[in-house]
């Protein structure tokens, strides 16, 4: 949000967020810090003050998770109620979609794919609590949790949601790109399930399965990376005078080149972790890998929303105001002509009235 505000990217209108639902970046930071403080206190108490074998070993994790979920889901007018209400509405539409899919639904559903491992962690938490496992070496302490079929099922759910959205869009408009996009999300299933099967197989006795997992992971990673650059970010358009960048940009040029490389590296890291093959049996390693995905997703979000604003002519002018066309993009009596540079600096807008 800080980047959006700095470079005049009108993310709120692109995502259909009402003015009373918009949070400033410092408000988001404050809300996030509140959750982190609660989590930090709970972890500190759990690791230093709880005696092994006592009921608190189960109570503290469940209570902390329940409190954080309550803060997010409650309908009470607390903890940025109006902003949470928008998220609740979009999540509901992701699960129960209509005949048309909005950009906000696509945006949030894409974000859920980055949370697939987090959802799997939730499943593991409840499993470990059920088995009364309270150490990090859970691979040996609770093999039943790690071999459960619920694990790959939970990881697959966000991809299934996004896959269904693509099929709904294809059925509504008949655009081949939506069908190809659906195959992209379907390509996530083989690495997830092959990785789970490989983890359960005897060590060193499944070279064919390992080769199949490598192939599936490479296909999925390169497929999604290509889609990121060409379709989600609008790059590598051969007609662009700024090839491989776009003709219109709202961010400085060096950022695009840097983020193209970062996206590739972190895509590869995420694909390995997604398959659940890494034995991340320490909190530090788990947090590190999930922080890397947060960084990748944040960069992806910035360029994705920026590109959507450019496609739909939603941007702020140099005075910080929205052009009239962004409020009425479907009214043919209003026109907007872009003037200025295409080198990554801000484009001003010259409005032209078309007679009714």
- Do 349 and 334 contact (CB within 8 A), yes or no? no
What pLDDT shows up at residue 323? 38
CB atoms within 10 A of CB 143: 12
State whether 200 and 138 are in the same domain: yes
Domain assignment present for residue 240? The answer is yes
What pLDDT shows up at residue 181? 97
Is the pLDDT at 139 greater than 90? The verdict is no
| Lowest-confidence segment of 119-133, 170-184, 217-231 by average pLDDT | 119-133
Q: Could you give the CA distance from residue 78 to residue 19 in angstroms, rounded to a whole number?
A: 18
Domain assignment present for residue 123? The answer is yes
Residue burial 200-239, b: 16+ Cβ < 10 Å; e: rest: eeeeeebeeeeebbeebbeebbebbbebbbebbbbbeeee
Q: Could you give the CA distance from residue 256 to residue 253 in angstroms, rounded to a whole number?
A: 6
State whether 236 and 347 are in the same domain: no
**pLDDT tens-digit readout, 216-246:** 999 999 999 999 999 999 999 999 999 999 9
State whether 336 and 309 are in the same domain: no
- Do 156 and 313 contact (CB within 8 A), yes or no? no
State whether 353 and 282 are in the same domain: no
State whether 145 and 293 are in the same domain: yes
State whether 306 and 331 are in the same domain: no
3-state SS class at 81: helix
Domain assignment present for residue 60? The answer is no
Those residues with Cβ within 8 angstroms of residue 253's Cβ, 6 or more apart along the chain or in another chain: 242, 245, 343, 344
The average pLDDT across 17-45 equals: 93
Domain assignment present for residue 44? The answer is no
State whether 88 and 102 are in the same domain: yes
* pLDDT over 90, % of the chain: 59
3-state SS class at 169: helix
**pTM score:** 0.82
- Do 233 and 307 contact (CB within 8 A), yes or no? yes
Query: From residue 317, how far is each of 104, 192, 305 by CA, in Å?
Result: 23, 45, 17
- DSSP for 297-344, written as a single string: HHHHHHHHHHHHHHHTT----TTSPPPHHHH-TT-TTEEEEEES--SS
State whether 276 and 239 are in the same domain: yes
Is the pLDDT at 141 greater than 50? The verdict is no
What pLDDT shows up at residue 281? 56
Which residue would you say has higher pLDDT here, 337 or 321?
321
State whether 254 and 343 are in the same domain: no
Domain assignment present for residue 176? The answer is yes
State whether 154 and 102 are in the same domain: yes
CB atoms within 10 A of CB 302: 22
**Nearest Cα residue to 247 out of 112, 347, 356:** 347
CA 181 to chain centre: 16
What pLDDT shows up at residue 336? 36
State whether 308 and 216 are in the same domain: yes
- Do 180 and 230 contact (CB within 8 A), yes or no? no
**pLDDT tens-digit readout, 273-285:** 766 555 555 667 7
Q: What is the band of 52 on the pLDDT scale with cuts at 50, 70, 90? A: confident
- 202 dihedral zone (left: phi>0; alpha: psi -120 to 50; beta): beta
* pLDDT over 70, % of the chain: 79
Is the pLDDT at 350 greater than 80? The verdict is no
- What is the token pair recorded at 274? 């997604």
Domain assignment present for residue 117? The answer is yes
- Residue 127 dihedral angles phi and psi, to the nearest 5°: -65, -45
Q: What is the mean pLDDT of the chain?
A: 82
CB atoms within 10 A of CB 176: 9
**Domain extent for 348:** 320-356
State whether 100 and 208 are in the same domain: yes
DSSP conformational letter for 230: I
Strand partners, 336: 351
Is the pLDDT at 318 greater than 90? The verdict is no
Q: Could you give the CA distance from residue 38 to residue 80 in angstroms, rounded to a whole number?
A: 17
Domain assignment present for residue 236? The answer is yes
| Lowest-confidence segment of 59-68, 138-147, 303-312 by average pLDDT | 138-147
Domain assignment present for residue 70? The answer is no
Number of domains in the chain: 2
What pLDDT shows up at residue 355? 33
């Amino acid at each position: 949000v800080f980047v959006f505000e700095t470079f005049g990217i009108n993310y709120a209108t692109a995502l259909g967020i009402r003015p009373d639902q918009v949070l400033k970046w410092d408000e988001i930071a404050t809300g996030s810090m509140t959750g982190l403080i609660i989590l930090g206190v709970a972890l500190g108490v759990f690791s230093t003050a709880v005696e092994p074998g006592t009921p608190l070993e189960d109570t503290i994790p469940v209570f902390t998770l329940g409190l954080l979920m309550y803060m997010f889901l409650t309908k009470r007018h607390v903890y940025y109620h109006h902003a949470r209400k928008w998220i609740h509405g979009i999540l509901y539409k992701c699960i129960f979609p209509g005949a048309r899919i909005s950009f906000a639904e696509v945006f949030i559903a894409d974000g859920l794919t980055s949370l697939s491992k987090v959802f799997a962690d939730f499943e593991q938490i409840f499993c470990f609590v059920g088995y009364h496992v309270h150490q990090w070496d859970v691979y040996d302490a609770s093999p039943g949790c790690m071999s459960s079929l619920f694990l790959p099922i939970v990881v697959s759910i966000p991809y299934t949601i996004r896959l269904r959205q693509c099929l709904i869009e294809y059925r509504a408009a008949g655009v081949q790109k939506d069908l190809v996009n659906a195959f992209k999300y379907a390509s996530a299933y083989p690495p997830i399930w092959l990785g789970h099967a490989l983890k359960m197989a005897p060590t060193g006795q499944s070279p064919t399965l390992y080769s199949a997992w490598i192939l599936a992971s490479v296909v999925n990673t390169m497929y999604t990376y290509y889609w990121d650059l060409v379709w989600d970010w609008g790059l590598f358009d051969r007609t662009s005078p700024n090839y491989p960048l776009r003709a219109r940009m709202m961010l400085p040029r060096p950022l695009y080149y840097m983020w193209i490389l970062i996206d590739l590296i972190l895509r590869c890291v995420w694909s390995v972790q997604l398959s659940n093959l890494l034995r991340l049996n320490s909190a530090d390693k788990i947090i590190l890998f999930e922080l890397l995905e947060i960084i990748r997703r944040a960069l992806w979000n910035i360029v994705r929303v920026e590109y959507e604003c450019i496609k739909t002519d939603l941007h702020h002018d140099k005075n910080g105001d929205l052009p009239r066309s962004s409020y009425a993009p479907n009214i043919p009596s209003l026109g907007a002509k872009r003037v200025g540079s295409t080198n990554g600096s801000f484009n001003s807008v010259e409005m032209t009235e078309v007679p009714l």
